[in-house]
Structure 1
Amino acid sequence: MYQLHDLTKTYRQGKRVVRALRGVSLTIGEGELVAVQGPTGGGKSTLLQMLGGLDRPTSGAVSLDGTDLASMTDAELTATRGRTIGFVFQNFNLIPTLTALENVETALVPGRVPRQSRASRAQAALESVGLGDRGDHLPGELSGGQQQRVAIARALVKDPKVLLADEPTGNLDEETRDEIVDLIEGLWKEQGLTTVLVTHDSVVARRARRRLRIAQGAVTELTGS
């Protein structure tokens, strides 16, 4: 699924050069559930951005199904993200003036899915995360856990091959955190999604079948509990 070869990412903060990724080489197989841990500023989010084609490396390659994302045009990257990759973020990133159903539908607009089909697919996605009866609610009328379920439905409605989640439980209490991790794990099992989960929470990370640690831009494999 993913092949990363000698991946580096540097950028400037004023006069300082930040090396967010330092020669990362890594393989993530199709259907794997991988957790990425590490300290703040260690490169977790940068790595996820590379996997999602949201940023380009300074050097090296990140290939998805044999195609180097860094070599794609902006239009090709947008199309790949629209077809293949679902994203879930810590802050949900829902549009506050749209209903839950409409928020999920937004993921289908770039793909020019007909309006009627968008609505039916969005409803099915909400049902898959246990919110089939909340489609007409605005984000402000939903709990944090429900908002994250809407965000997960929005990621899944495209039928992606990959789910990338950046601290998806970071704003949730422990009980709700466990519910969201149960949901992600269940969807991974049912749909066979390649899932990469960035988290600072070791309880969440231990639910993954494979764990990586990234610190100072370097990735190591974790073993044991």
Structure 2
Amino acid sequence: MTTTAEPVYRLSGVTRTYTQKDRVVRALTGIDVEIAPGEFVTIQGPTGGGKSTLLQLLGALDRPTGGSLTLGGTELATASDAELTRLRAEEIGFVFQGFNLIPTLTAAENVDMALETTRLDRAERQGRVDEALAHVGLADRGGHLPSELSGGQQQRVAIARAIVKRPKVLLADEPTGNLDESMRDEILVLLERLCAEGLTLIVVTHDSAVARRASRRLRLAKGVVTDITA
């Protein structure tokens, strides 16, 4: 008998509104989407269309105003703050356009920062860091400061920092936005490999070359999903 894996994310009627002075801003309106384990999904759309808001909700950094949003069966709208903190620490990795590395720390120390809240001992943490850096092709760069690395290498360190926790999901906001075409393609190949290994990958991007590599593309405009392309 064939079984279908449960979605990593299930969004049903998700809305997010904000109050600005005397007016209500509808950032998201009635989002209905399911994302499967190991899927590579991109989110595109005009500025102000709701992309960042959606990514924040998926990352358990914010809560929906209405509807249901589950991650692995946990309802994020009603989960406790402690549970959301646990999900961010254990099940969700984040990668950003600006790398966000601490300039005074080495690559290995930057990656290790993601394990600060864990109960792993020093040896286990070092093993995880070494493994993550090797996984992104930087086994020999752990002792280098960010200033001693290229832009592509810095983004690889940022990805290592995200995956060192062994999350289920990697959320990326314009991860190739600061890279030239060659470095962009290197990062995309790395992300695709991680996805092929089972990591669920969700990427906000303005770059159509990035979106074309995804298994599914969502387009957001005025807080509504206007198109889903497989």
Structure-2-length-normalised TM-score: 0.93
Q: 1:205: which partner in 2?
A: 211
1:6 aligns with one of 13, 21, 37: 13
User: How far apart, CA to CA, are the structure 1 residues paired with 2:227 and 2:125?
Assistant: 40
**TM-superposed deviation, 1:17:** 3.0
Secondary structure of the corresponding residue to residue 6 of structure 1: strand
Amino acid at match of 1:149: R
Give 2:3's aligned residue: none
Q: Secondary structure at the match of 1:183?
A: helix
How far does the alpha carbon of each residue in 1:142-164 deviate from its partner, in whole angstroms, 9 at most, with x for none?
11111100000011111111111
How far 1:15 sits from its partner (Å)? Answer: 4.2
How far did residue 19 of structure 1 move? 1.4
The letter of the residue matching 2:217 is R
Tell me the secondary structure at the aligned position of residue 194 of structure 2: helix
Could you tell me which residue of structure 1 aligns to residue 123 of structure 2?
116
1:180 aligns with 2:182: no
Q: How does 1:134-153 map to 2 (within 5 A)?
A: 134-153=141-160
Partner of 1:50: 57
Kindly state the Cα deviation for residue 223 of structure 1 after the two structures are TM-superposed.
3.0
Aligned residues: 223
The CA distance in 2 between the partners of 1:113 and 1:72, in whole Å, is: 25
Cα deviation for residue 51 of structure 1 reads 0.7
CA distance in 2, matches of 1:142, 1:11: 40
Matches within 5 A, 1:56-67: 56-67=63-74
**What is the aligned-residue identity percentage?**
65
Secondary structure of the equivalent of 2:189? helix
Q: Which residue in 2 is equivalent to 1:100?
A: 107
Q: Which runs of 5 or more residues in structure 1 are unaligned?
A: none
Separation in structure 2 between the aligned mates of residue 88 and residue 14 of structure 1, nearest angstrom: 32
Question: Which one-letter code corresponds to 2:10 in the other structure?
Answer: Q
- Which of 37, 40, 43 is the matching residue for 1:30? 37
**Which amino acid in the other structure matches residue 205 of structure 1?**
A
Q: Give the unaligned 5+ runs of structure 2.
A: 1-7
Q: 1:82 Cα shift? A: 1.2
